[in-house]
Structure 1
Amino acid sequence: MFFKAVEEDIELRDRRTSEPLLPSTPSHRTCDYVLVAHKVDDDTDHKAQRQRAFIQQLEKKNITITRIVHDDKVFFGLRAPSEMFEDYKYLLKVSDSCNWCEDVNQATRIRIVNFILHHTYINTGENLEELLMKDVFETMFCLHDRKIQKKLRKDWARWSGLFTGQPLKDVKSYFGEKVALYYLWLGWYTKLLVPAAALGLVVFLYGLAFFNTNPLINEVCQSSIIMCPRCDKSCPVWHLSDTCTYAKVSHLFDNEGTVAFAMCMAIWATLFLELWKRHRARHVSEWKVYDWCEDEEELILEIVNDPKCQPKEFRHSYLRSTLVLILVTLMLILIIGLAHALVVFRVVAAPLMSEGSWDFIRDHSNTVAIMLGAVLHYLTIQIMTRVNRWVSLKLCHIEKTNSFAATERNFTVKMFTFQFFTLFSSLFYVAFFLGRINGRPGDYVRIAGWRLEECHPSGCLTDLFIQMAVIMLLKQTLNNVFEFTGPWLKNCLRRTATKKLQRKCGQCYRKACRNNQGRVEPCDICKLRDWLHNYHLGNTDAFSLFNEFLEMVVQFSFTTIFVAAFPLAPLLALINNIFEIRLDAIKMVRLERRLVPRKTNDIGVWTKVLEAIGVLAVIANGLVIGVSSDFIPRLVYRYRYGPCANGSTHTHCLQGYINDTLSTAVVSHMEVRNDFLPEQMITDGINVTQCSYRDYRSDQDYTLTSQFWLVLAVRFAFVILFEHVVVVCKFIAAWFVPNNPILVKNERLRDKLGRLTAELSEMKRCRSTEV
């Protein structure tokens, strides 16, 4: 309802102020770019001097400047000469990789002018980026095309079109291939999530179906076993039956279906990537950018900007590389240190809350500590995201790459690496270390005097599930709300600034029609109205699309890496993405300034990142099932120690499993007595002489039993077998599904033949003309 109300409000406001500009001369034909600066009355001011110097450099390149003053702002409308674009078309034709000539549309004009603006220097050596940082210019933006913008609003950027297709050709023509490929990838990812979400839901329902009849749940709920205190001093002994609800939740996410689901999701990740490559190939071939080279286009733009330019030669510095490697390592150590701080928080919070006055928090102190730790982890993610970006930019500046494309690739790898460790360090601890390094009664492992956490007798997987569920729900829900409401509120405020100009523009246009015949040029008021309309929209920059990609790739990581602990992750991702596509579309079309169109033929280094995540998903899911899950201990008990192993057919094969996984600590033993206070060993008014804890240890000397070593051996054997089987399946799937469809290969072959034949005909025609 909120999103629908917002959409109706936007539609109403757009109708009030959407009187078209001069139909014969749309705004985008009079201006390619707009620069905005604060008005400076003193001509001797250094800001005014730099403004004039930069504008003069643009005029030397034959760029037409339209200057309009409004209140305390100065707007500079820029329009590049047609000769510049003719040079661009010719260089495309003769280049090695970009040899496909097209008409220069508005998106191409914007891309070229944007490059020229960022590569124009004044006599002090400063470029536009530095001038913006020093507040010489306030901002810069390209204009939305009202006609195409209205069409995209109708066909795409609306909440009522959640389940309709995307007009990718229109998106490509307006925002460029880079944005179009993002939506193509996001749409494909969302479509492929449907079978994964359905399978995850089946696994969840499978656990729900045997909810009440599972012998492990009944064993916990009906148990009379007394467990050892969870912490020092404040925690008393407790009954295993008190955690009946926890045992039920554990079974929903730790059952026999989890193994098959994790294996399927690892193979799904490979099929998704291979099918995506085919899907991408079809579209980039249709868009005639299959052989496009981003580095070569950047070189072409350098020549268009300055025919006498010198190429940025490739260079490598071992000193710089070593420095970057050291700084990256230090940053990762810092991030891992923050994960350790979260662990300490949980270790300290659980016993403190067990002393609280609220019965619910006191009885569920461990679970509440886990949830608070997850919320704190989310807040840490929000802070570290900004820190990670700043550090990644500084590291890229140290590297001094020779092109923007190379800088973008390096930044993406560093930023994702930092984000991955920020997001998953705590999850890796919960998955693989929680409850396995805490020791035993009489020999507990401590941090600053506080005991480490223990796993529940039903297993550790529920802790991982809680951590993932809180982070995914908070991250996706809150991020989408903030991401949308910010530009929307700004969009509401900017309407009041353009109402007066709306009326003046109509008067100006009617007067011009009376005084002139034929084509009518827009007056300054009409230009200013449209410029202000774009000026008050949300700001966009080179990171706008990167942020969307990063958000989705992180979600892909959550959906695949620890999916064994959270089978509902694909379903949550699917629901989020259905809204994400329209949310991003509404932002880009209605609420934000127009993104600078970028030409490309792939999602770039993100493909390599996704492939790395796919490999990591195999390793992580194998370890989660083999190490974190109770699947292996239950399997060993069923066939080696349980009733069925002894030939019994009258009881369930897992009957007695919970009791088998518990060891007993005798309070009278000296080493155990040192860890527990006498008041901790009282329950229901009775002094307890012994208590149970989760481990495979002897009740006499607390040494590890043979069952522990057998379970450990089977765990490692399963991990190795699982990973080898899944990796082989991944290779078979990658081999079986070719990256390029036969249709695309044949189309490219015919296209190359046509170009070569045309060149040969042109050469023969020139020869005959000379003769």
Structure 2
Amino acid sequence: MNSHHGGRESSPPVEPFHTLCVLEFVTDAPQAAIEWMIAKIHAQRTAGGAELQAYSVVNRHNQEVILHIGAGTDRLLEAAELMQIKKEDSAGVLREITIAEISQFKKSGDLANFLTLAEKQQIILHELEKIRASDSDKHVPGYLKKKLYPGQSIVRKLLNDAVIHKLYPLHDRDVLKRLGEEWYNKVSKPQPIDDIRTYFGETIAMYFGFLGFYTMALIPPAILGLMYYFVAWQDINRLALFAVFNVVWATIFLQVWKRKASEFAFKWGTLDRVHFEDCRAAYFGKMGINKVTGRPEPVYPKWKRVLRFYCITIPIILSCLLFAVGVMLVYFWFQIEAEVYHAEWQTLWTKALVLVPSLLYSVAIVVMNSIYRKIAKALNDFENHRLQSAYDNHLIIKLVLFDFVNCFVVLFYIAFYMQDIPRLRSSLALLLIIQQVIGQIQESLLPYLMFRYKSNKMDKAEERRESLVDKDAKVDSDESSHVTDIISKEVRKQAEVEGEMETYEGTMDDYLEMFIQFGYVVLFSSAYPLAAVWAFINNVTEIRTDSFKLCKVFQRPFSQPTASIGAWQIAFQLMGIIAVMTNCALVALSLHNQGLLPKWDTADLVLLFVGGEHLVLALTQVLGAMVPDLPRTVRTEMARIEFQARQAWRNERSQAARTHRVKLRRAVSLLNATPISMPPLADSKVDGTTMQHRTTNV
């Protein structure tokens, strides 16, 4: 496909075209499929299209077709109103955009820049995913075996079937450079959360807000853990106090974070926005009508989803959990064999051999977690959830369940079956440190090395291409007459470079990593108080490496709204409750094993555990209830906004009533002032009386 085809794909735009996102086809994509997709993007919404602008360019390095997609200002504003995007009005209040009242919003004098680049790109993605197959679309053109059914999201189908290779928004390099300088280049400064939100969207900003808040919250248990490590490691009374402190700290941390997340969401205008969700692009079913919105959307029977969950998902998940337990038992067999061998020979090599099973098991945990993530995502897709929030929550449950068993079952086995506290301490330290090192290598070093390799490869390819002067001149001449007047050479090169970057998979894995780390910190804190220290050191590095990856290594992700960390809040709270039980049980076992309660039998220890656990749980619940979810400032501002909305509604009703009364008075006055002439009629006699009809004024 020649680049000049892009010059004929849509009429010249009234305003200058700006590439907002890029859609990249696979190299061997049929011409028929490409033209069909372009036609769908251009088509009117009433005809099932997206009503967007698209121009095609051929990637000179890989020879695949790239679509540069954008939209005019009017189209973006119209979609922003339908998506209920909020902006600040002249009074400083966040409210939904309405085109009829656009002049009442700040920055409305420059409508081209009224929406941020992240909001524009979010709109483009939303409109592309709304392109659905019609009754006449039986299969993807050029692919007879890729069947379509009415209502299916075409873009999602082509992405899943590897017809579309990538779909990504372009970076704003100048803004990104300034953001990076204030973010990962300045370790001592707080993160610019509002700037992150403006550029990357609420979901990513919320994650980094949580990561920064959690890292700072780790300072008290880290300091106390260091003190206990050097002063009172074996003092059971002080360790019991440290365990109580840790679970109370976890409760306060999570409750205060909930308040902080509410502040973020209110400031960003997402606190009540995400309650109204469209169905997922990948959601499939027969086309029907949404009874709430009246809009057409797929409909899928709930009983089918429940059947898939109970008959397919649960058996597979249980099998994975059993496999994880089996791997743990194999690890213990090798560990015991290595220890027996070392006890027999007592050499430096055998001492090193004792560490090998733990190292291999730590690596096995990371590998199994990675494989299970793919299984969990496939099961979640198979269940066909309607809303993105429901999809995410079910995925979180699956990931949390498996990772919890995979990472912590060995520690529970050591603590409560073997009742070996020194082994528990060493195993927890090894698992925590090794997994954090592997995570940093896997998430930071490898993506960066891949990025450098691809960048060098592209630079060499560019040098070879530029050496072919005649060919290059011919291509540039061809493109200049059709494409470069719309899409500059710099933008086309930027799209090609960013197309080689890794795709950012979202914050799910990042939250899961923090969840597992949080478990290492609180579940067995009485056995290993230094866990918070290692977690703090890791997180300080994690903030900078994650921010560097987003700015330098990964493609720009699409902005997504959020009001909180979602189901992760519940997952962390459940971890805190389990931590109360495990720490109380550890303290009771330590008292028994150290002979501090010689006259207590098993029943007495159980009663001690239950009583202590209930007491600490009650304390955490009271502390949680004392801290309201919404700060007073947010509650006051929300009440003020609601009051203003009610007042505006009353004023509107009063104005409408006054207008109606004025119109009514004018109509009555006009009626009274207008003579109605009637022709004179002949005399008529009624009961012998002669009556003369006269002209009467009404």
TM over 0.5: yes
- Selected match of 1:197 from 194, 201, 222: 222
Is the partner of 2:507 in helix, strand or coil? helix
- Tell me how far apart the structure 1 counterparts of residues 234 and 166 of structure 2 sit (CA, whole Å): 51
Q: Give the Å deviation of 1:493.
A: 3.4
Q: Give the Å deviation of 1:69.
A: 1.2
Decide whether aligned partners of structure 1 residues 727 and 109 sit closer, same or farther in structure 2, where only a CA change above 3 A counts: same
Q: Give the Å deviation of 1:70.
A: 2.6
User: Conserved in 2, the CA contact under 8 Å of 1:490 and 1:536?
Assistant: no
Paired residue for 1:427? Answer: 411
Paired residue for 1:49? Answer: 32
Is the partner of 1:34 in helix, strand or coil? strand
User: Is 2:109 the counterpart of 1:109?
Assistant: no
Paired residue for 1:564? Answer: 526
Q: Give the Å deviation of 1:173.
A: 0.9
Which amino acid letter does the alignment assign opposite residue 528 of structure 1?
Answer: R
Which amino acid letter does the alignment assign opposite residue 264 of structure 1?
Answer: F
- Structure 1 gaps, min length 5: 1-24, 41-45, 208-251, 436-459, 641-706
- Tell me how far apart the structure 2 counterparts of residues 736 and 336 of structure 1 sit (CA, whole Å): 40
Higher relative contact order (CA 8 A, sep 6+): 1
User: Is 2:496 the counterpart of 1:532?
Assistant: yes
Q: Give the Å deviation of 1:595.
A: 1.3
Q: Give the Å deviation of 1:500.
A: 8.9
Decide whether aligned partners of structure 1 residues 759 and 418 sit closer, same or farther in structure 2, where only a CA change above 3 A counts: same
- Tell me how far apart the structure 1 counterparts of residues 518 and 31 of structure 2 sit (CA, whole Å): 49
User: Is 2:242 the counterpart of 1:261?
Assistant: yes
Which amino acid letter does the alignment assign opposite residue 70 of structure 1?
Answer: N
Paired residue for 1:322? Answer: 310
Q: Residues 585-734 of structure 1: matches in 2 within 5 Å?
A: 585-627=547-589, 629=590, 631-634=591-594, 636=596, 710-734=600-624
Paired residue for 1:378? Answer: 362
User: Is 2:282 the counterpart of 1:291?
Assistant: no
User: Conserved in 1, the CA contact under 8 Å of 2:380 and 2:391?
Assistant: yes
- Tell me how far apart the structure 1 counterparts of residues 383 and 368 of structure 2 sit (CA, whole Å): 22
- Tell me how far apart the structure 1 counterparts of residues 509 and 620 of structure 2 sit (CA, whole Å): 29
Decide whether aligned partners of structure 1 residues 253 and 404 sit closer, same or farther in structure 2, where only a CA change above 3 A counts: farther
- Tell me how far apart the structure 2 counterparts of residues 500 and 341 of structure 1 sit (CA, whole Å): 49
User: Conserved in 2, the CA contact under 8 Å of 1:564 and 1:621?
Assistant: yes
Decide whether aligned partners of structure 1 residues 401 and 300 sit closer, same or farther in structure 2, where only a CA change above 3 A counts: closer
Is the partner of 1:343 in helix, strand or coil? helix
Q: Give the Å deviation of 1:361.
A: 5.4
Q: Residues 190-229 of structure 1: matches in 2 within 5 Å?
A: 190-207=215-232
Decide whether aligned partners of structure 1 residues 533 and 321 sit closer, same or farther in structure 2, where only a CA change above 3 A counts: closer
Paired residue for 2:59? Answer: 70
Which amino acid letter does the alignment assign opposite residue 633 of structure 2?
Answer: L
In the TM superposition, what whole-angstrom CA distance separates every residue of 1:712-743 from its partner, at most 9, and x where no partner exists? 34432331232122111101111221111111
- Tell me how far apart the structure 2 counterparts of residues 92 and 752 of structure 1 sit (CA, whole Å): 21
User: Conserved in 2, the CA contact under 8 Å of 1:107 and 1:176?
Assistant: yes
User: Conserved in 1, the CA contact under 8 Å of 2:20 and 2:69?
Assistant: yes
- Tell me how far apart the structure 2 counterparts of residues 591 and 307 of structure 1 sit (CA, whole Å): 42
Paired residue for 2:296? Answer: 309
Which amino acid letter does the alignment assign opposite residue 243 of structure 2?
Answer: A
Which amino acid letter does the alignment assign opposite residue 610 of structure 2?
Answer: I
Which amino acid letter does the alignment assign opposite residue 127 of structure 2?
Answer: I
- Tell me how far apart the structure 2 counterparts of residues 177 and 720 of structure 1 sit (CA, whole Å): 42
Decide whether aligned partners of structure 1 residues 562 and 94 sit closer, same or farther in structure 2, where only a CA change above 3 A counts: closer
- Tell me how far apart the structure 2 counterparts of residues 94 and 569 of structure 1 sit (CA, whole Å): 42
Q: Give the Å deviation of 1:353.
A: 4.2
Which amino acid letter does the alignment assign opposite residue 119 of structure 2?
Answer: T
User: Is 2:161 the counterpart of 1:178?
Assistant: no
Q: Give the Å deviation of 1:186.
A: 0.9
Which amino acid letter does the alignment assign opposite residue 144 of structure 1?
Answer: H
Q: Give the Å deviation of 1:39.
A: 4.2
User: Conserved in 2, the CA contact under 8 Å of 1:172 and 1:180?
Assistant: yes
Decide whether aligned partners of structure 1 residues 763 and 50 sit closer, same or farther in structure 2, where only a CA change above 3 A counts: farther
User: Is 2:29 the counterpart of 1:33?
Assistant: no
Is the partner of 1:747 in helix, strand or coil? helix
Paired residue for 1:234? Answer: none
Paired residue for 1:132? Answer: 159
- Selected match of 1:466 from 426, 433, 455: 426
Moved more, 472-481 or 254-263: 254-263
Is the partner of 2:122 in helix, strand or coil? helix
Q: Give the Å deviation of 1:711.
A: 4.8
Decide whether aligned partners of structure 1 residues 762 and 92 sit closer, same or farther in structure 2, where only a CA change above 3 A counts: farther
In the TM superposition, what whole-angstrom CA distance separates every residue of 1:558-589 from its partner, at most 9, and x where no partner exists? 11111111100011111111111111111111
Q: Give the Å deviation of 1:421.
A: 0.6
- Tell me how far apart the structure 2 counterparts of residues 100 and 297 of structure 1 sit (CA, whole Å): 17
Is the partner of 1:138 in helix, strand or coil? strand
Is the partner of 1:603 in helix, strand or coil? coil
Q: Give the Å deviation of 1:62.
A: 2.0
- Tell me how far apart the structure 2 counterparts of residues 93 and 390 of structure 1 sit (CA, whole Å): 33
- Selected match of 1:87 from 65, 72, 78: 78
User: Is 2:328 the counterpart of 1:339?
Assistant: yes
Decide whether aligned partners of structure 1 residues 559 and 493 sit closer, same or farther in structure 2, where only a CA change above 3 A counts: same
Which amino acid letter does the alignment assign opposite residue 76 of structure 1?
Answer: L
- Tell me how far apart the structure 2 counterparts of residues 299 and 372 of structure 1 sit (CA, whole Å): 46
Decide whether aligned partners of structure 1 residues 376 and 411 sit closer, same or farther in structure 2, where only a CA change above 3 A counts: same
User: Conserved in 1, the CA contact under 8 Å of 2:17 and 2:486?
Assistant: no
Q: Give the Å deviation of 1:432.
A: 1.1
Q: Give the Å deviation of 1:769.
A: 6.3
Is the partner of 2:410 in helix, strand or coil? helix
Q: Give the superposed CA RMSD.
A: 3.5
Decide whether aligned partners of structure 1 residues 48 and 354 sit closer, same or farther in structure 2, where only a CA change above 3 A counts: farther
User: Conserved in 1, the CA contact under 8 Å of 2:59 and 2:496?
Assistant: no
In the TM superposition, what whole-angstrom CA distance separates every residue of 1:453-491 from its partner, at most 9, and x where no partner exists? xxxxxxx21101111111111111221133212232233
- Tell me how far apart the structure 1 counterparts of residues 38 and 658 of structure 2 sit (CA, whole Å): 48
Is the partner of 2:277 in helix, strand or coil? helix
- Tell me how far apart the structure 1 counterparts of residues 246 and 16 of structure 2 sit (CA, whole Å): 47
Paired residue for 2:512? Answer: 550
Is the partner of 2:297 in helix, strand or coil? coil
Paired residue for 2:645? Answer: 755
Decide whether aligned partners of structure 1 residues 480 and 634 sit closer, same or farther in structure 2, where only a CA change above 3 A counts: same
Q: Give the Å deviation of 1:603.
A: 0.4
- Structure 2 gaps, min length 5: 1-12, 44-49, 87-93, 98-104, 106-113, 140-147, 284-288, 467-471, 664-698
Which amino acid letter does the alignment assign opposite residue 380 of structure 1?
Answer: A
Which amino acid letter does the alignment assign opposite residue 260 of structure 1?
Answer: L
Which amino acid letter does the alignment assign opposite residue 68 of structure 1?
Answer: V
In the TM superposition, what whole-angstrom CA distance separates every residue of 1:152-174 from its partner, at most 9, and x where no partner exists? 1111122xx22211111111111
Which amino acid letter does the alignment assign opposite residue 327 of structure 2?
Answer: L
- Tell me how far apart the structure 2 counterparts of residues 84 and 134 of structure 1 sit (CA, whole Å): 29
- Selected match of 1:141 from 147, 150, 168: 168
- Tell me how far apart the structure 2 counterparts of residues 557 and 253 of structure 1 sit (CA, whole Å): 22
In the TM superposition, what whole-angstrom CA distance separates every residue of 1:37-79 from its partner, at most 9, and x where no partner exists? 2445xxxxx7332222222211213221111113322211011
Which amino acid letter does the alignment assign opposite residue 720 of structure 1?
Answer: V
In the TM superposition, what whole-angstrom CA distance separates every residue of 1:174-200 from its partner, at most 9, and x where no partner exists? 111111111111111111111111111
User: Conserved in 2, the CA contact under 8 Å of 1:254 and 1:461?
Assistant: no
User: Conserved in 2, the CA contact under 8 Å of 1:200 and 1:570?
Assistant: yes
In the TM superposition, what whole-angstrom CA distance separates every residue of 1:71-105 from its partner, at most 9, and x where no partner exists? 3222110113444433334335599xx96338532
User: Conserved in 2, the CA contact under 8 Å of 1:461 and 1:565?
Assistant: yes
Paired residue for 2:682? Answer: none
Decide whether aligned partners of structure 1 residues 521 and 757 sit closer, same or farther in structure 2, where only a CA change above 3 A counts: farther
Paired residue for 2:683? Answer: none
Is the partner of 2:164 in helix, strand or coil? coil
- Tell me how far apart the structure 2 counterparts of residues 755 and 332 of structure 1 sit (CA, whole Å): 52
Q: Give the Å deviation of 1:355.
A: 4.6
